[in-house]
Amino acid sequence: EAGVAQSPRYKIIEKRQSVAFWCNPISGHATLYWYQQILGQGPKLLIQFQNNGVVDDSQLPKDRFSAERLKGVDSTLKIQPAKLEDSAVYLCASSLDSRETYEQYFGPGTRLTVT
């Protein structure tokens, strides 16, 4: 069974530029999560989708971050404009369903550096 796929793996941009990350979850997983992990910290949930609907985006900085999951499968996370403090690893995870606490599986992540 293929795992969670993410691209790109690395990205370096200048502040005020925009960037987009892509995620393809494990086949059959209804729930998709985007996390931000800053060095030395645990992953912090940015947004959670159940199929193509948003369940939780309470920690998403909506003035600069946006995310979509149009067909209930792939998802894109965008940052526009980027700030220096956005330098982090962006992790995508998926689980069977969010109605129960199913185990979450992570993709390899995208390491973003904002200069």
Residue 113 touching other proteins (CB under 8 A) = no
> What are the tokens at 8?
């790109």
One of 21, 109, 112, 114 touching other proteins (CB under 8 A)? 109
Phi, psi angles (nearest 5°) of residue 85:
-70, -5
One of 1, 42, 63, 70 touching other proteins (CB under 8 A)? 42
Contact map string, positions 2 to 41, toward other proteins, x by CB under 8 A: -------------------------------x------xx
Give whichever of 27 and 101 is closer to other proteins, judged by the CB atom. 101
* 84: helix, strand or coil: helix
75 Cα distance to chain centroid? 8
